[in-house]
């Protein structure tokens, strides 16, 4: 089976600083790929290159075998690439339901033209992430964990083929993390491929089919979670600091 | 050729005045993130203050300038402390509106108090000029230019080399950093706005010695100050000199070669172009 | 909207529509001005209130609409209706050509660029022969204030219905998403550039129509009055005072502020201006989200509403 998403030699330079350095990888249909690395390793930049909010300085990004790195962000969303933001960005003045309805109104293939149907679809996404009872709140009335789920629901309402999750578990407690892991597994069971950035190693190890490690913008490991986490280079670069 | 030289000199002298006009606006904008639509109205007030000092107390405008600036500083400090600090965290639109409201209030107050008549500060040496080859240098304009440059450079040195100046510059980066200097933020904001208004007052004094003032000059002076700040860029306090000279010379050249009515097209057209092509100003970083 | 609310709105509309029959000539003239200002406030509401782009250049649309009518009627002897269409075409062309580069700017920079554009347009039109240069154009007079009144009211109704439609359409949701978080909107599939330009153009269409009606009514226009920069500020203040990003707020703001300022200027002109300024200052401090929000929340929170607003935004 060919890859759904392929990143080839992606590089991004900010003011002379290399944030992402010649990174290549693939994401297969239905796969959950974990992306880990110390702070500042370039994880969020990499996601932004894929979702189109940043343009790669060099390299290519392919989605369903088409080069997409010249497409603006909204076109990529319409192809079926959904993302969440690490710094949560709900539409604060809108209700929780309408926040998610935006995803349904736009999203993959241009989404749903009718507001009533979009709201219906939004309600389903909100139920799915466990925010069913908060739909009438204003988005800025939700607490941190609620906003994480809202980010997920917004992206899911787009009916994406690929979901890029930027630290959807940060700041959550154990129970909440378990719940989010469960949600992500259920998303994958619908056939959606997932790229997930996470700091909680235990969570990502149990969730991911494969792990990718970035360090100073470079890919230093790619493989099964067990193999990657046993890799001395990874331990040195990433886990080593935590042990000390 | 002589005409061109004269036009360039006129533009340069005007540009110095423009620089100090924009300096206060750029300071307040860069540090407090307030685009002060009342800036021109404060310039107007400064002009009137010096006109009254000269007309009734016979204080030469250049000697009275520190006094005018001090009064305007007090006004600015009070306004920031008592009013603008109340809305500083509101969306940018609200701060624009409140300063516009101030502009309206100041303009109409000026009309009530000062009447709509044109005023010019006319010291005895106003008509004198120096000759430099074929080029004529009007004395008042030359003096205004000199003071403008001194003020701009002085402001730059103040921001670089004093504790308060460094605290102000740190505030432009972020408020937390400013706290490290041990300055109370409300006071710091008020000091910054006060300085901006003091500079506006000084600019008004200089303006009054070379042009006519009336209560309605504020809006167009604000617009010019904007243009200058943008063209020069907000990052560098010396940017306003570049912006001011640039605008002064472009206006003079446009008036000479294309026509008086196109001077505004040139200056604001350039403003739009700079915004679109180089939003950080001619001196700013390219991104 | 509930049935009684629709009933209220219809009743208010009927009351307004009847003014030429029961009101004085002065009231009708005041009404034309106030209604056209309300149209401008609604036009601004689309780009400023819903899309979050604080345009200080909508007076350009108004001026283009006015000149569209004047040039068509005076220079080409075409009927008023054709002039209105011409004005709208000019406004849309301007919105698209200049909107594309200028709508890339954010926040203050967008506001300033549009302000500068409105200054440039005044100066350019002053030099166009077809537009009568800085002398202006005199239109054929039509002494029919009730007609102008009903035209203005009709235009305001259409503008308001359009905005009401926006709030329940895909397009409107896209605009609100842009206002709330432009990058977030883009990654959800909103074509932000296209939507912003469309919103700018739509806002321009209504402003241009208002300008066209005003020009024919006043029968004279020159660059300074057609591209009056203070008009920008008026429409913004009215929209913000009433409640930007709401369907009826800008109308309430425009009509109430017009009435107050008319009343005061019949006393002393400069006092009216002064009062206007003070109202703006007080409104920004005490009710930064406009009358609509205040009326909605005042019942629940009482006077604490004002102190809460201050606490939320002070240093």
The interface predicted TM-score (ipTM) is 0.88
Tokens of residue B102, six digits: 């101030």
Residue A62 has which token pair?
């392919």
pLDDT of residue B279: 64
Residue of C168, C177, C186 with shortest CB distance to A91:
C177
Residues 6+ apart with CB under 8 A from B39: B24, B25, B28, B99, B196, B200, B218, B221, B222, B225
Domain ranges of chain A: 5-80+161-243, 92-158
Give C107's pLDDT tier (boundaries 50, 70, 90). confident
A30 Cβ contact partners less than 8 Å away, ≥ 6 residues apart: A188, A191, A192, A193
Question: Top-level CATH class of A5-80+161-243?
Answer: alpha beta
Q: Does C104 touch chain B (CB under 8 A)?
A: yes
**If we measure between CA atoms, which residue out of A53, A73, A84 comes closest to residue A151?**
A84
Q: Give A237→chain C minimum CA distance, Å.
A: 32
Angle at CA C209, nearest 5°, toward C206 and C212? 155
Find which of B89, B99, B105 to mutate to test the C interface (most C CBs within 10 Å of its CB). B105
pLDDT one-digit tens code per residue, B206-261? 999 888 899 988 888 988 898 888 888 777 767 888 889 988 998 888 888 887 77
Predicted TM-score (pTM) of this structure: 0.87
* Cβ separation B104–C126 shorter than 8 A: no
Give the Cβ contact number of residue B81 at 10 Å. Answer: 18
Nearest to C189 among A89, A92, A106 (CB): A106
Pairing of strands A32-36, A210-215: parallel
SS3 content of chain C, % helix, strand, coil (to 5): 80, 0, 20
Distance CA A91, CA A128 (A): 20
Token code pair at residue A97: 């339901």
Q: For position A126, what pLDDT does the model report? A: 93
Most confident of B87-101, C11-25, C280-294: C11-25
- The whole-angstrom separation of Cα B275 and Cα C111 is 11
pLDDT attached to residue B282:
61
Is C245 within 8 Å of A93 when comparing Cβ atoms?
yes
Most trustworthy range by pLDDT among B62-71, B172-181, C135-144, C253-262: B62-71
CA–CA separation, C229 and C236 (whole Å): 12
Q: Of A33-42, B222-231, C47-56, which one has max mean pLDDT?
A: C47-56
- Residue-level pLDDT at B287: 38
- CATH for B2-277 is 1.10.3470
C-beta atoms of C310 and B100 within 8 A = no
Cβ within 8 Å, pair C191-A74 = yes
Report the pLDDT value the prediction gives residue B285, as an integer from 0 to 100. Answer: 47
CB-CB: which of B91, B96, B264 is closest to C111? B96
Residue C90 near residue C64 (C-beta atoms within 8 A):
yes
- Which stretch of A79-93, A134-148, B16-30, B271-285 has the lowest confidence by average pLDDT? B271-285
Higher-confidence residue: B281 or C192? C192
The answer to whether the CB atoms of C310 and B86 lie below 8 A apart is yes
The per-residue pLDDT for A202 is 82
Please report the pLDDT score of residue A88 as a whole number: 65
Q: Does C93 touch chain B (CB under 8 A)?
A: no
Nearest to C161 by CA among C315, C7, C9: C9
Which residues 182-211 of B have a C-beta within 8 angstroms of C? 185-186, 189
Cα B287 to Cα A14, A15, A188, B280, distances in angstroms: 9, 8, 39, 9
Nearest to C54 among B89, B93, B276 (CB): B93
**Stronger pLDDT, B84 or C129, i.e. the higher one:** B84
Nearest chain A alpha carbon to C50: A93
Judged by a CB distance cut-off of 8 A, whether residue C117 touches chain B is yes
With CB atoms and an 8 Å threshold, state whether C122 touches B261: no
Distance from CA of B62 to the nearest CA of C (A): 32
User: Mean pLDDT lowest for which of A184-193, C139-148, C266-275?
Assistant: C266-275
Q: Is C81 within 8 Å of chain B by CB?
A: no
CA C27 to chain B, closest CA, distance in angstroms equals 26
Mean predicted confidence (pLDDT) in A24-49: 90
- Distance (Å, whole) CA B237 – CA B244: 12
C-alpha pair distances (Å), B218 with each of B52, B134, B200, C105, C225: 18, 35, 11, 25, 19
Query: Is the confidence at residue A241, as pLDDT, over 60?
Result: no
Using the predicted structure, report yes or no on whether residue A240 has a pLDDT greater than 80.
no
User: What is residue B236's predicted lDDT score, i.e. its pLDDT?
Assistant: 73
Burial A54-76 (b: 16+ CB within 10 A, else e): bebeebebbbeeeebbebebbeb
């Amino acid at each position: 089976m060919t890859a759904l998403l392929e990143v080839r030699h992606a590089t991004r330079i900010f003011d002379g600083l290399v944030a992402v350095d010649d990174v290549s990888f693939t994401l297969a249909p239905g796969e959950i790929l974990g992306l880990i690395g110390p702070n500042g390793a370039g994880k969020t930049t990499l996601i932004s290159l894929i979702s189109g909010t940043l343009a790669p300085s060099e390299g290519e990004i392919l989605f369903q075998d088409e080069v997409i790195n010249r497409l603006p962000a909204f076109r990529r969303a319409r192809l079926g690439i959904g993302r969440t933001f690490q710094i949560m960005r709900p539409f604060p003045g809108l209700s929780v339901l309408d926040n998610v309805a935006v995803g349904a109104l736009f999203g993959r293939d241009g989404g749903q033209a009718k507001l009533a149907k979009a709201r219906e679809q939004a309600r389903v996404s909100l139920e799915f992430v466990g925010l069913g009872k908060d739909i009438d709140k204003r988005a800025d009335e939700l607490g941190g964990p609620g906003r994480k789920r809202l980010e997920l629901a917004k992206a899911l309402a787009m009916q994406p083929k690929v979901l890029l999750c930027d630290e959807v578990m940060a700041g959550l407690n154990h129970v909440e993390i378990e719940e989010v892991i469960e949600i992500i597994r259920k998303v994958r069971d619908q056939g959606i491929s997932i790229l997930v950035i996470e700091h909680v190693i235990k969570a990502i190890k149990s969730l991911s089919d494969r792990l990718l490690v970035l360090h100073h913008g470079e890919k230093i490991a790619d493989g099964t979670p067990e193999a990657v986490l046993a890799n001395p280079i990874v331990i040195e670069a990433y886990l080593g600091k935590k042990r000390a | 050729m002589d005409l061109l030289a004269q036009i360039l000199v006129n533009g340069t002298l005007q540009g110095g005045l423009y620089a100090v006009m924009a300096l206060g606006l750029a300071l307040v904008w860069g540090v407090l993130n307030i685009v002060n639509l009342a800036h021109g109205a404060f310039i107007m007030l400064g002009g009137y203050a010096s006109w009254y000092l000269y007309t009734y107390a016979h204080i030469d405008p250049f000697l009275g300038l520190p006094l005018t600036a001090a009064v305007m500083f007090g006004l600015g400090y009070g306004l920031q402390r008592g009013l603008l600090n109340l809305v500083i965290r509101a969306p940018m639109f609200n701060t624009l509106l409140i300063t516009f409201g101030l502009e309206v209030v100041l303009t109409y107050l000026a009309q009530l108090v000062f009447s709509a008549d044109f005023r010019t500060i006319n010291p005895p040496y106003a008509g004198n000029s120096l000759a430099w080859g074929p080029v004529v240098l009007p004395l008042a304009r030359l003096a205004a230019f000199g003071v403008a440059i001194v003020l701009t450079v002085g402001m730059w040195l103040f921001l670089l080399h004093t504790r308060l100046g460094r605290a102000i510059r740190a505030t432009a980066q972020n408020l937390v950093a400013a706290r490290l200097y041990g300055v109370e933020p409300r006071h710091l904001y008020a000091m910054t706005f006060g300085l901006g208004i003091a500079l506006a007052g000084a600019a008004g004094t200089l303006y009054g010695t070379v042009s006519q003032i009336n209560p309605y000059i504020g809006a167009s002076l604000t617009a010019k100050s904007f243009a200058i700040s943008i063209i020069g860029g907000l990052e560098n306090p010396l940017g306003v000199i570049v912006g001011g000279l640039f605008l002064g010379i472009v206006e003079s050249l446009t008036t000479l070669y294309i026509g008086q009515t196109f001077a505004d097209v040139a200056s604001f057209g350039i403003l739009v172009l700079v915004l679109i092509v180089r939003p950080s100003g001619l001196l700013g970083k390219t991104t | 909207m509930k049935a009684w609310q629709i009933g209220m709105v219809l009743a208010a509309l009927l009351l307004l529509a009847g003014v030429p029959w029961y009101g004085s000539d002065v009231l009708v003239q005041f009404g034309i001005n106030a209604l056209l200002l309300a149209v401008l406030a609604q036009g601004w509401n689309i780009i400023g209130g819903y899309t979050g782009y604080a345009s200080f250049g909508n007076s350009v649309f108004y001026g283009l609409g006015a000149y569209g009518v004047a040039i068509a009627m005076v220079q080409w002897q075409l009927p008023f209706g054709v002039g209105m269409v011409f004005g709208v075409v000019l406004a849309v062309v301007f919105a698209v050509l200049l909107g594309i580069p200028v709508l890339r700017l954010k926040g203050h920079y967008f506001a300033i660029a549009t302000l500068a554009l409105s200054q440039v347009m005044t100066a350019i039109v002053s030099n166009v022969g077809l537009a009568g240069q800085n002398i202006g154009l005199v239109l054929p007079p039509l002494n029919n204030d009730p007609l102008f009144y009903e035209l203005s009211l009709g235009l305001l109704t259409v503008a308001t219905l359009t905005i009401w439609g926006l709030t329940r359409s895909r397009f409107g949701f896209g605009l609100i998403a842009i206002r709330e978080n432009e990058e977030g909107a883009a990654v959800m599939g909103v074509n932000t550039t296209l939507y912003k330009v469309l919103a700018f153009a739509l806002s321009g269409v209504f402003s241009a129509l208002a300008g066209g009606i005003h020009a024919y009514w006043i029968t004279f226009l020159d660059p300074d009055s057609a591209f009056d920069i203070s008009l920008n500020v008026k429409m913004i203040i009215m929209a913000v005072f009433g409640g930007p990003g709401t369907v009826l707020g800008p109308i309430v703001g425009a009509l109430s502020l017009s009435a107050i300022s008319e009343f005061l200027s019949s006393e002393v002109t400069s006092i009216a201006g002064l009062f206007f300024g003070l109202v703006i200052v007080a409104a920004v401090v005490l009710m930064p989200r406009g009358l609509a929000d205040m009326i909605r929340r005042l019942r629940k929170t009482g006077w604490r509403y004002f102190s809460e607003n201050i606490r939320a935004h002070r240093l």
